[in-house]
Structure 1
């Protein structure tokens, strides 16, 4: 069985390939199957955006399509940056700008009240109309200063109490065991079995 993964990110594709291969499922990048413009992510939630991508690429490829949408939700900011995590500081921003805006927004909030979570929603859409969804969360706190060289995005500021380090400091093995994407993928795999 072949599944199209709605990503151009080689690292993400590698993760999905490794997880699906033991089930006899071949994961291929959408770029290897069909060339279409990216869909507009107009959803108000991670699940809606994942569904938009899964449906769009499934229809374009006529193959089952796995899509994810993920980001950071900070309680003190009413769930922001949320679905705007990648473009929190504007459309043409980078990780540094997003993190600067996040830390600025939290200046008046004490560390212990900076609870946050990474969220990942997965949607696997089939041409026959079936759909499988899975969710993963990783809880933490947002600290003022970046620590660690690993990871990307908000990882250097995302403190994981379980390891007493930021997401950018823990090993890849530790990260895969607790990460929002890793947990969502585990949930999806259990549903596929």
Structure 2
């Protein structure tokens, strides 16, 4: 049985992370890069879950394959949970990672470490062509640094410090990050649904 899953993203960092995390399932992983003419609809949801379901449902309906939609972002306590669902466009539509990071650092300038607490939150949605929808969520707690550190990862990774290891996600080897990340935790909670959809046994551990 050929088992195909489409990732509802073109983000190269996310694609590589998901491919690594999904390896135990031995699936054929596709992404929007394999469907050049397929453009995701605007993220009109007010929550990560709404946006994740929107993307997964849209891609599954157009490809006729199970699709995995992801919506994730950074929630900073001192900013009342911002940037949240607007994380990828915090500095405006089409903003680069560097521009988003610069805006965040500017807003937190002068804040002491105890007021720079933040979390990465990820919600995943798995949708099938038959219309079944499954979701999973994961969070990672940390602190926003005062300057970028590290060259690994993407997005806000160079600013997100894990106090227990003394490094930012941008300083962690990708294989280490993949065992800790909010996406890894969200995928773990979705694992039983993935096994069910693809008819796999519980021996395929995440």
When residues 161 and 190 of structure 1 are mapped into structure 2, their CA distance, relative to the original with a 3 A threshold, is farther
Shift in Å, 1:15 = 3.4
When residues 163 and 43 of structure 1 are mapped into structure 2, their CA distance, relative to the original with a 3 A threshold, is same
- Asked if residue 181 in structure 1 is aligned to residue 187 in structure 2, the reply is no
Q: Match for residue 171 of structure 1?
A: 173
Q: Match for residue 140 of structure 1?
A: 142
When residues 24 and 157 of structure 1 are mapped into structure 2, their CA distance, relative to the original with a 3 A threshold, is closer
Q: Match for residue 80 of structure 2?
A: 78
Q: Match for residue 125 of structure 1?
A: 127
1:13 corresponds, among 15, 30, 33, to 15
Structure 1, unaligned runs of 5 or more: none
Q: TM-score scaled by structure 2? A: 0.85
Q: Match for residue 46 of structure 1?
A: 48
When residues 15 and 150 of structure 1 are mapped into structure 2, their CA distance, relative to the original with a 3 A threshold, is closer
Q: Match for residue 4 of structure 1?
A: 6
106-115 vs 41-50, which moves further:
106-115
Shift in Å, 1:78 = 0.9
Q: Deviations over 1:20-72 (max 9, x none)?
A: 45334322123435732221111111111111101111111122111101111
Instruction: Supply the distance in 1 between the matched residues of 2:36 and 2:150 (Cα, whole angstroms).
Output: 38
Aligned length: 193
Superposition CA RMSD, Å: 1.8
Structure 2, unaligned runs of 5 or more: 196-206
Instruction: Supply the distance in 2 between the matched residues of 1:189 and 1:14 (Cα, whole angstroms).
Output: 18
Instruction: Supply the distance in 1 between the matched residues of 2:26 and 2:171 (Cα, whole angstroms).
Output: 34
Q: Match for residue 202 of structure 2?
A: none
Q: TM-score scaled by structure 1? A: 0.90
| Divergent runs of 4+, >6 A | none
Give the conservation status (yes or no) of the 8 Å contact 1:21–1:27.
Answer: no
